């Protein structure tokens, strides 16, 4: 089968690293023949993956310098070996500092101007594409204009079939809030996305709610491409809850999630006033501040800092309840409107009961409600009552742990996901 797979060129932002934080695309292409996939990317860092060994990087720092010095080399072929050099680490840290999750829209627009004025349409880029000679382009859609411009340029040059992948709300105005600059940036982005969709042969999305909305907007019949699970590794036996009940949160404390975690910690402290019925542990690379920091040091709540990915999996498996948290109020309420957190599939694999807090109309919570795969709370005022009910009825914890596993088997079976993906990709080249 692998010999018949088309040569796919992936046009993405993040570097592929098998042990990195962003592993969605490497996981998707782990089923592909590594000789028949190549990647063009723009972020700092060097690749370290078994999935592919042909890479071309457009260096953002160099693109910035090229505005003032046009002779600057802005792109090159890179090797599939992770670099631990101080220079490489410094470049990654500088990029993370410039473009962390809390940056302003003004900074985003300045970044777009850098890519608009800088030099990235180079002979080296065209030679890499020509040498690989792709039969198909795989194009993830991002919330940045410059990437859509790069992708549309390569689409025009190659004239090859295009498969797009939308895994978030990278089109509507609903995430813009009240900032006029956000609307300007989103309008600019929509122009690029419309052009991508015009050339798109097949669209993949990540959740049912997203499919419904994008099918209507783009008049297409998209396919859901979700994260796959090795179902053989799923728990075979139902969990019996510990005493006290072990509840964990493993994730970021930003974009409103800190507020939700804070409300859960308050509820746990109230429940534990007479005796410790729940032990709530938070694992995150983000340091809690203010009231949250105080809450996570009392009443059965603990902040445990950051841990490795392998350790996170072990922590989730040893828990009774895993917390899925999104913002219920404020500017970040729609941050996950059309996304699907890979954390959910990790939670399904753990066999623990998923306790989800978030708006019912965002894609991940909508999915959990449709599948009855979690105990869902859509109002901060209901958190304590729902947790008390689980404490009083531990059989519910076991029941929803089983339902989470069943959802993983039903919708995330690796064999089914891979088969759907390969079939759709091959059809695009055959049709062309």
pLDDT profile of the chain (432 residues), mean per 10 = 82 89 86 96 93 96 96 93 59 56 78 96 98 97 97 98 96 89 96 97 95 96 93 83 96 93 97 95 93 93 91 94 93 85 90 96 95 97 97 97 95 94 93 60
Predicted pLDDT at 101: 47
Question: Cβ-count burial of 255 within 10 angstroms (0-12 exposed, 13-18 middle, 19+ buried)?
Answer: middle
> Could you tell me if 366 and 427 lie in one domain?
no
> Could you tell me if 72 and 114 lie in one domain?
yes
Q: How many helices (H) and strands (E) does the chain have?
A: 16, 14
For residue 13, give every residue at least 6 positions away whose Cβ sits within 8 Å of its Cβ, in sequence order, or none. Answer: 41, 42, 43, 140, 142, 144, 147
3-state secondary structure of 385: helix
| DSSP characters over 103-134 | --HHHHHHHHHHHHHS----HHHHHHHHHH--
> Could you tell me if 418 and 400 lie in one domain?
no
> Could you tell me if 290 and 173 lie in one domain?
no
Residue 92: how many CB atoms within 10 A of its CB? 16
> Could you tell me if 375 and 333 lie in one domain?
yes
Dihedral Cα 104, 109, 114, 120, nearest 10 deg: 110
Predicted pLDDT at 431: 64
* Cross-strand partners of 247: 280, 321
> Could you tell me if 272 and 401 lie in one domain?
yes
> Could you tell me if 303 and 424 lie in one domain?
no
Which helix H or strand E contains 207, and what residues bound it? none
Tally of domains within the chain: 2
389: alpha, beta or left? (left if phi > 0; alpha if psi -120 to 50)? alpha
> Could you tell me if 269 and 365 lie in one domain?
yes
> Could you tell me if 394 and 421 lie in one domain?
no
> Could you tell me if 194 and 249 lie in one domain?
no
What range does the domain containing 81 cover? 2-228+413-431
Predicted TM-score of the model (pTM): 0.89
> Could you tell me if 180 and 316 lie in one domain?
no
Mark 150-168 as b/e (b = at least 16 C-beta within 10 Å): bbbebbeebebbbbbbbbb
- Which CATH number belongs to the domain containing residue 38 in this structure? 3.40.50.2000
Task: Note whether 5 and 32 are within 8 A (CB).
Answer: yes
> Could you tell me if 109 and 182 lie in one domain?
yes
The CA–CA distances, whole Å, from 401 to 62, 261, 317, 411 equal 49, 21, 11, 16
């Amino acid at each position: 089968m692998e010999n018949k797979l088309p040569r796919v060129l992936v046009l993405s932002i993040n570097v592929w690293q098998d042990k990195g934080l962003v592993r969605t695309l490497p996981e998707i292409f782990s089923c592909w023949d590594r000789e028949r996939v190549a990647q063009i990317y723009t972020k700092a860092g060097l690749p370290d993956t078994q999935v592919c060994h042909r890479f071309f990087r457009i260096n953002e720092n160099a693109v910035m310098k090229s505005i003032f010095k046009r002779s600057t080399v802005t792109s090159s072929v890179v090797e599939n070996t992770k670099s631990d050099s101080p220079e490489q680490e410094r470049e990654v840290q500088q990029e993370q500092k410039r473009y962390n999750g809390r940056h302003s829209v003004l900074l985003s627009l300045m970044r777009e101007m850098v890519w608009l004025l800088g030099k990235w349409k180079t002979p080296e880029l065209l030679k890499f594409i020509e040498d690989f000679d792709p039969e198909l382009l795989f194009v993830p859609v991002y919330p940045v204009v410059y990437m859509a411009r790069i992708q549309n340029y390569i689409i025009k040059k190659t004239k090859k079939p295009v498969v797009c992948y939308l895994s978030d709300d990278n089109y509507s105005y609903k995430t813009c809030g009240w900032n006029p600059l956000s609307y300007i940036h989103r309008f600019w982005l929509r122009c690029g996305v419309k052009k991508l969709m015009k050339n798109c042969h097949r669209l993949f999305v990540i959740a049912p709610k997203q499919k419904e909305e994008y099918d209507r907007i783009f008049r297409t019949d998209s396919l859901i491409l979700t994260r796959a699970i090795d179902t053989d590794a799923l728990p075979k036996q139902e969990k019996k809850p510990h005493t006290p009940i072990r509840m964990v949160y493993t994730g970021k404390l930003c974009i409103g999630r800190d507020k939700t975690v804070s409300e859960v910690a308050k509820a746990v402290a109230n429940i534990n006033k007479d005796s410790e019925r729940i032990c709530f542990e938070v694992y995150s690379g983000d340091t809690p501040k203010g009231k949250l920091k105080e809450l996570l040091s009392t009443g059965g709540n603990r902040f445990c800092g950051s841990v490795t990915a392998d350790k996170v999996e072990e922590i989730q498996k040893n828990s009774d309840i895993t917390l899925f948290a999104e913002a219920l109020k404020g500017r970040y309420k729609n941050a996950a409107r059309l996304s699907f957190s890979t954390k959910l599939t990790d939670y399904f694999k753990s066999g623990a009961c998923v306790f989800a807090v978030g708006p019912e109309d965002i894609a991940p919570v909508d999915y959990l409600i449709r599948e009855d795969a979690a105990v869902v709370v859509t109002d901060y005022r209901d958190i304590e009552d729902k947790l008390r009910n689980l404490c009083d009825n531990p059989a519910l914890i076991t029941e929803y742990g089983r339902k989470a596993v069943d959802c993983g088997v039903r919708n995330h079976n690796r064999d089914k996901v891979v088969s759907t993906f390969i079939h759709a990709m091959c059809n695009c080249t055959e049709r062309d």
